[in-house]
Amino acid sequence: MARDSLTLRRPDDWHLHLRDGAMMKAVLPFTARVFGRAIVMPNLVPPVTGVSAAEAYRKRILKALPKGAKFTPLMTAYLTDATAPDEIERGFKAGVFTAAKLYPANATTNSARGVTDIVRIDKVLERMACIGMPLLVHGEVTDPAVDVFDREAVFIERILAPLTRRLPKLKIVFEHATTRDAIDFVRAQGPNVAATITPHHLVISRNALFQGGLRPHMYCLPVAKREAHRLALRRAATSGETKFFLGTDSAPHPIADKEKDCGCAGIFCAPSALETYARVFDEENALDKLEAFASLNGPRFYGLPPNEARVTLRRETWKVPAKIKAGSAAVKPFLAGEEMGWKLTA
């Protein structure tokens, strides 16, 4: 019998872009309404590289929260060629940094100051392995000779596999996995290697980018792949395996920055994220696995207790807003204007 409601421990979002200023103020309520905690990405301009910048950013987030919201931002350090191991350790030990993020230089939005060559952060990675601090990776090479759709698979071969051999104890999250290659790789590693999966990569394949014309709001990085990859992601997410957990990669950009020559990468999925996952798990007859993916596997990997509060989803229709105002700009959410079959109760 199809169920009509589902109660689970309050979920967390293990990969989120909150931005800053008016944009943050506009997008934060969509996350704080649903998720107890979120791993906040550090790719601001300038990036959040040091402990004091992360503390200041955390304060701005807490200040921007709607009244009464119970939400804990978990901060990350943006690794650069110049990152000092001591700064990373100090931030981690002080409880400011939950993890550090590796952006290969120029791989994605605001990654210009990312790492130009992994050997440049050898000492940082060794220190992280030593203190048990998770490394979050944007798993794409930037070599222009590599096809855009192969950049994730090549990253595994050239960067990640050697890294796991060199530092087998390092905790690694393969962020926003988009390929079967990533799923297979993560599965083959020990419990210290996990992956997040976004709602949109469970729903769209690369065809969605070109459906009836060019669709800038379906464009994110890593870019959606072929259908076979989407199906592998769906199997992994709904498997209940502890290695796979929720990370929305909600990444808002003003509509004007998406709909232009050289539009920005990023999909703003926060307004319907949990409901989209519920739809996917429902379609896969795996609603009983949603709590593991959304609320249990992430905290377990990070060594944190799961949330005590509960949330309830009901089978009820509602429409994703067509757009959201953010100061003088507007943002178009993923699935804008579409009808959803699951709704989070207030």
Q: Which does 221 bind (CB under 5 to 8 A by kind): Zn ion, ligand NCD, none?
A: ligand NCD
- List, in sequence order, the alpha helices (H) in 198-311: 199-203, 227-237, 255-258, 273-283, 290-291, 297-302
Binding mask 60-99 for ligand NCD (x = CB under 6 A): ----------------------------------------
Interface of this chain with ligand NCD, residues 7 to 26, rule: CB under 6 A = 17
**Residue 249 among the catalytic residues:** yes
**Under rule CB under 6 A, residue 221 binds ligand NCD:** yes
Helix, coil or strand: residue 346? coil
Q: Looking at beta carbons only, is 127 or 217 nearer to ligand NCD?
A: 217
Helix (H), strand (E), coil (C) string for 119-163:
HHHHHHHHHHHHHCCCEEECCCCCCCCCCHHHHHHHHHHHHHHHH
Write b or e for each residue in 269-283: b if 16 or more Cβ atoms lie within 10 A of its Cβ, otherwise e.
bbbbbbbbbbbbbbe
Binding mask 241-280 for Zn ion (x = CB under 5 A): --------x-------------------------------
Q: Looking at beta carbons only, is 181 or 249 nearer to Zn ion?
A: 249
**Under rule CB under 6 A, residue 179 binds ligand NCD:** no
Instruction: Provide the minimum distance between the beta carbon of 108 and Zn ion in the complex, in angstroms, as a whole number.
Output: 7
Give 147-151 contacts, CB < 8 A, sequence gap 24+.
Answer: 148/223, 149/206, 149/223, 149/225, 149/226, 151/107, 151/222
Stretch that binds ligand NCD, among 28-36, 52-60, 102-110, 151-159 (CB under 6 A): 102-110
Q: Is the dihedral of CA 265, 341, 34, 67 positive or negative?
A: positive
Q: Catalytic pick from 13, 181, 249, 282? A: 249
Residues that bind ligand NCD (CB under 6 A): 17, 43, 108-110, 138, 220-221, 249, 251, 265-266
